Structure 1
Amino acid sequence: MMLRHRRTVAAAALAAAAVSGLPACSAVLGEEASLLDATSLTVGVKADQPGLGLEDGDGGFEGFDVDVALYIAEQLGIPEENVEFVPVTSAEREQKLDDGEVDMVVATYSITPARKTEVTFGGPYYVAKQDVLVRADATGIQGVRDLEGLDVCQGEGSNSAVRITEGLGIDVVQTDAPSYSACIELLRDGDVDAVSTDNLILAGFLAEDPSAFRFVNNPFTDEKYGVGLPYGDVAACEAVNKAISTMYQDGTAADLLDTWFGETGLQVVTSVPQFEGCV
């Protein structure tokens, strides 16, 4: 069944959590807590990434990440009316999970060794590729090595530009912006030469204004999108992985990818990703 939701709904707080002071998602099992005991979820998603996580103007959110989160919640036994979406930026994802402001993050959250010291990741639910977006008239940029000496924008809290400089040894001028939507505006205005990040993110922005930008379409890294969970919640991680497997096996993942990216020309992957492991 294909999902495409354009609304957000309030999550009901657990009575036990209110008494104990735990996050609304958690119930106490001895000294352990797990999302598997939840009757509601607060999920952090992006609010400014077309096709992935975008605030719709009516207080709701839409996109691939939003629909993936709803599918996972359903598989965990949590109905849609008990799922609340809240916006998160790249820079604040770990902190909001650690503080209990959100119970889960589904927000183009690449799994990295450093982040795994603070967050337990389910998935990945999709493996994107890092690529480059330039202005439509920038015909001289055909691959990442053509960015040598140019100004490349990355969103705050992202590692995209670092993968170019430290990972590939390409000397670029790095510009940090509050978000990738801000990077896109800098690119549009000619203040930077390129934006480099995951191809799903770039494809979403390209679909919004295909005449202004050009997708280089020459990927150079894998970006494993994980479901961010409270650190140490292995049981929830395993359940999330099972839900993701089912999402690909029953055709939902392919339907969602076609819904959100089918008109962008991006070649998407519809096979079950190889999971990272929960421990």
Structure 2
Amino acid sequence: MQLRKVTAASAAVLALALTATACGSEDKDDAAGSDGGGKITIGIKIDQPGLGLKTPDGKFAGFDVDIATYVAKELGYDAKNIEFVETKSADRETAIERGDVKFIAATYSINDERLQKVDFAGPYLLAHQDVLVRADDNSIKSPEDLNSKNLCSVTGSTSAKNVKDKLAPKAQLQNYGGYSECLTGLENKAVDALTTDDSILAGYAAQDAHKGKFKLAGFKMTNENYGIGLKKGDADLKKKIDAALTKMVSDGSWDKAVEANFGPANYKNEPAPKIGNVVK
């Protein structure tokens, strides 16, 4: 009888412990899955200076990183609880749909095709397609001046093709593997210009190794509205991110981030766009 009493008592204690453990796990899961607790995973680019770059010491820097960090803080996450992961352009919608990331800030232009799959907060930056030329080159004053010039095209990009098809049909496209190679070619005069979004060009030109060597032409050939991508239908998160972006502009943090990341390239950025105002 005594053994049965001890066993019954032990069983009661065990049941109570299990109940407490279950409650604790549930609380922890709730905290981790809600704004203000646990960790948050954010998608960024890791190879674009000035926007999203993983530095040799394993840290992350750039305008998109600053935007994402500010937004995460407003959602209740400390910087130490942010996990940045690389999201390449072709993988962004999939990463959001699978739930691999909470949101993405990665030179992610808002367009109708993407809006079929994901939602966007913002926009937080209005960029334009532009060209980068050598600082001492005054021969390219308009897109038409690119005719008969060697225009660098990064493999897989449509930017240079857009220039050739619509503005400078006689431009000579030179295909390179990446923007860094284009910059080397530009510096060595193997090419005369490099084209992509002005924000990306400014980021490269602002690197210490490139300061003073290049300049943006300022052609503004297209409008690129950078937004924060998130799961389609998540209206609550979209509202919170929009509020965070609005606050970032109003308290001056947006301007500071622009100056810190693009200032050395003399990037003539557009004023901070109004939330929901996508410029066609």
TM-score of the superposition, structure 1-length normalised? 0.75
Between Structure 1 and Structure 2, the one with more helix by share is: 2
| Cα-to-partner distance string for 1:21-56 (whole Å, 9 max, x where unaligned) | xxx9985xxxxxxx7597422112222222211212
- Structure 2 Cα separation of the partners of residues 76 and 173 of structure 1: 48
Larger-Rg structure: 2
Cα offset, 1:74, TM superposition: 0.9
In structure 2, the residue matched to 1:80 is 79
Cα offset, 1:145, TM superposition: 2.2
| Percent sequence identity over aligned pairs | 36
Query: Does the 8 Å CA contact 2:125/2:225 hold for their aligned counterparts?
Result: yes
**Structure 2 unmatched ranges of 5 or more:** 1-24
| Cα-to-partner distance string for 1:233-277 (whole Å, 9 max, x where unaligned) | 222112111111111011111121122223332223344434258
Aligned partner letter, 2:234: D
**Structure 1 unmatched ranges of 5 or more:** 1-14, 28-34
TM-score of the superposition, structure 2-length normalised? 0.75
Q: Cα RMSD over matched residues?
A: 3.2
In structure 1, the residue matched to 2:246 is 245
Cα offset, 1:228, TM superposition: 1.4
* Matched ranges for 1:76-155 at <5 A: 76-136=75-135, 138-155=137-154
In structure 1, the residue matched to 2:53 is 54
Cα offset, 1:81, TM superposition: 1.7
Cα offset, 1:206, TM superposition: 1.4
| Inter-CA distance 58–186: structure 2 relative to 1 (3 Å threshold) | same
- Structure 1 Cα separation of the partners of residues 114 and 176 of structure 2: 21
Cα offset, 1:188, TM superposition: 3.8
| Inter-CA distance 93–252: structure 2 relative to 1 (3 Å threshold) | same
Deviates more, 1:42-51 or 1:54-63: 42-51
Q: SS state of the match for residue 256, structure 2? A: helix
Query: Does the 8 Å CA contact 2:132/2:195 hold for their aligned counterparts?
Result: yes
In structure 1, the residue matched to 2:11 is none
Aligned partner letter, 1:258: E
In structure 2, the residue matched to 1:266 is 267
Deviates more, 1:195-204 or 1:137-146: 137-146
| Inter-CA distance 56–69: structure 2 relative to 1 (3 Å threshold) | same
* Matched ranges for 1:173-212 at <5 A: 174=173, 179-208=178-207, 209-212=210-213
Cα offset, 1:129, TM superposition: 2.2
Aligned partner letter, 1:43: I
Number of paired residues? 250
Cα offset, 1:155, TM superposition: 4.6
In structure 2, the residue matched to 1:221 is 222
| Cα-to-partner distance string for 1:204-240 (whole Å, 9 max, x where unaligned) | 2112213432321232222111111123322211211
